[in-house]
Chain A
């Protein structure tokens, strides 16, 4: 039970800066996911909290105590590792009780706590097994039991589900949420899987290149990304981006124009603007009844269809060229490509001419140079109340909109 605060934490290695001036404030009992691509510094951030790595600069606080120089064992944290890291020379009971035995708890207390922890993670009857006799999911549960048995103030998880198969991962995801509800401990969870981050956490901290990009509730990150990186990273498949020039009546891009009143947004000093729109905010023209504020019609050719069952992803070509050899990420940033998702019942085929509209209230504008968000939704304010713009700095917390808890 404690809040965790990182103040100006920087970790420099000889050749790289792994964590760059990180400021984080994690509330008591909160479930926060640190999410970002590989090598972005999220694991290093976690190691500085655990005490396995000393920050080059900055302070780490757990509760009210400055723990920057404390060794890991005195920080009141426990950790679950990506490679599970059970001690192979000890049985399950010894693994779980390792920390308690080191702290000289008496035998009865250890037994009581181990039994309870085993009960929570449903490991009854397996206490005398060796780790190598357990399945991956059971091993991970032992690791979690080992972490919770000491009743730590903060619970650190470094991609604990990364080595499990897909089905088990989804199952363990629910178990972890249940565990969080049950224990009500602060949990800091590192993952590169944005789906895990979206589903489990109270707040997501998106990290890239050692810098905090945004920390906000999942839906805020999704609906009001603070910058281009967050917009592209959160959401799968990712947002469509297109660069364009500002005109008096909106944005001109290579293949279509987007009408809005530029005066309504803080666009001074910004030459180039990147517009972003999520696949689900693009509609076929024939279905525009539900769209509050449709844009002008755009003509396109369907290229590849990806039926997912509950929706169909449609790759649209705006100039007739094909997106062959492009990954969905590349396609999302190419100006002549759009990725949209349509209802599975929709009759749509490859290489078909379609007319589409964008939901202008869901179009995001970013400063192409800095990547910062300018506005989320370019709808006419007289028609529809536009959400307030959150164009604060990348590391600031975006509090408006979205939902918490």
Chain B
């Protein structure tokens, strides 16, 4: 950067400062240079994030458009000359748009997407309703043991999900729940494997703590007067929660909902086990659908890539829509009370 017009304020014992030192002094003393440096750093950081997040999508697109045979045998040695070195920069080896149609022909991919969508929607609704109740209690009521309970929720949220898997699978198969060591049968649960219940229940439990924490913070910030006003005007505490507190906490509710929805939509670990076979009618999710292009002998990389893109689209739309809501909610919140 500019080193020419450096102010001559340096102490005289530093006879010949090096270029780096001169530049540093310039940045420290000259607001112009400083803002130029900040802008440069900003672009570098932005560029880094854009490349790391967008390149995988580009790579998916490249793979989806390249016929499968070309993927396996193709020439991926394309490079992009950048300042002296050459960066590998793959481009599509062909233009096979039909992969996006084939995705639905080979397996009923839309059913897998539907499964994930239903699981995510139902889980989100359950999580938001339950976390709202919990968030209201933790955020707005004073009662003995509140801190302890909150801590318990936090502690449980740190348990690895895998720890719950085997007992849950055992129970969802319809086996009787037995008290350990005593051998006393408590009850025989219904056989839930291959049904949405076996997935929605553990998902809801797993994603509740995060939603509770988000909503607790938001609900606790709504002025007491508004809730009191609603209650005097004719709502119950619950009515005040859903009619006043929740709408005013829209950004928080949207954040919790989007996080839960995306997490469940992407989920594979639980659902791959609770759906006994990778079949859409056994409520196998999206990721299961993508994996079903892989058989014992063949792997259709181009279809897997195309399916991934198709699967991401609903998410993309949702996030864009929700983001608008979140942003509008935030600016509205800033203007009021």
Contacts and interface: CB of A to CB of B under 8 A. Distances in A.
Contact of B228 (A52, A86, A89, A146): A52
Interface in B196-231: 223, 225-226, 228-231
A132 B230 contact: no
Most buried by B among A83, A86, A87, A132: A87
B236 A87 contact: no
Given A131-B336, A132-B335, A87 B235 contact: no
Which of B223, B226, B248 has most chain A Cβ within 10 Å?
B226
A50 interface: yes
Contact of A71 (B223, B226, B236, B248): B236
Interface centre among B228, B230, B233, B236 (most CB of A within 10 A): B233
Contacts of B226: 85, 87
A229 interface: no
Given A72-B231, A89-B247, A89-B248, A82 B225 contact: yes
A242 to B, nearest CB: 43
Interface string A66-89: 000001110001110111111111
Contacts of A81: 225, 228-229
Interface in A71-128: 71-73, 77-79, 81-89, 98-99, 102-103
Given A52-B228, A79-B228, A88-B337, A73 B248 contact: no
Contacts of B225: 81-85
A73 B243 CA distance: 15
B141 interface: no
Contact of B233 (A51, A84, A102, A132): A102
A209 B239 CA distance: 34
Interface residues of A, number: 28
Interface string B321-337: 00000000000100111
Contact of A102 (B223, B228, B235): B235
Contacts of A52: 228, 231-232
Nearest to A71: B236
Interface in A123-155: 131-132, 146, 150
A218 to B, nearest CB: 27
A94 to B, nearest CB: 11
B104 to A, nearest CB: 42
B267 to A, nearest CB: 33
A216 B209 CA distance: 55
Contacts of B234: 73, 98-99, 102-103, 150
A78 B248 contact: no
A73 B228 contact: no
Given A82-B225, A88-B248, A102-B239, A132 B232 contact: no
Interface in B114-132: none
B173 interface: no
Given A79-B228, A85-B228, A88-B248, A73 B233 contact: yes
B229 A79 contact: yes
B244 interface: yes
B207 to A, nearest CB: 26
Contacts of A132: 335-336
A72 B337 contact: no
A33 to B, nearest CB: 19
B232 A77 contact: yes
B231 A78 contact: no
A71 B337 CA distance: 26
Interface string A36-65: 000000000001001110000000000000
B233 A98 contact: yes
Contacts of A89: 244, 247-248, 332, 336
Interface string A289-308: 00000000000000000000
A73 B229 contact: no
Instruction: Specify which of A50, A79, A88, A99 lies most central, judged by the most chain B CB atoms within 10 Å of its CB.
Output: A88
Contact of A83 (B223, B248, B336): B223
A78 B223 CA distance: 18
Contact of B223 (A50, A85, A150): A85
A388 to B, nearest CB: 42
A142 to B, nearest CB: 11
Given A87-B244, A89-B248, A71 B231 contact: yes
A73 B223 contact: no
With most chain B CB atoms within 10 A of its CB, the pick from A52, A89, A156 is A89
Contacts of A99: 233-234
Contacts of A156: 232
Contacts of B332: 88-89
A73 B232 contact: yes
A232 B47 CA distance: 70
Contacts of A73: 231-236
A87 B226 CA distance: 7
7 contacts: A72-B228, A73-B232, A79-B232, A82-B225, A83-B337, A88-B332, A102-B233
The 6 A-B pairs of least Cβ separation, nearest first, read: A88-B336, A85-B225, A99-B233, A102-B234, A85-B229, A73-B234
Given A79-B228, A81-B225, 17 more contacts: A50-B228, A71-B236, A72-B228, A73-B234, A73-B235, A77-B232, A83-B337, A85-B223, A85-B225, A87-B229, A87-B244, A88-B337, A89-B244, A99-B233, A102-B239, A150-B233, A156-B232
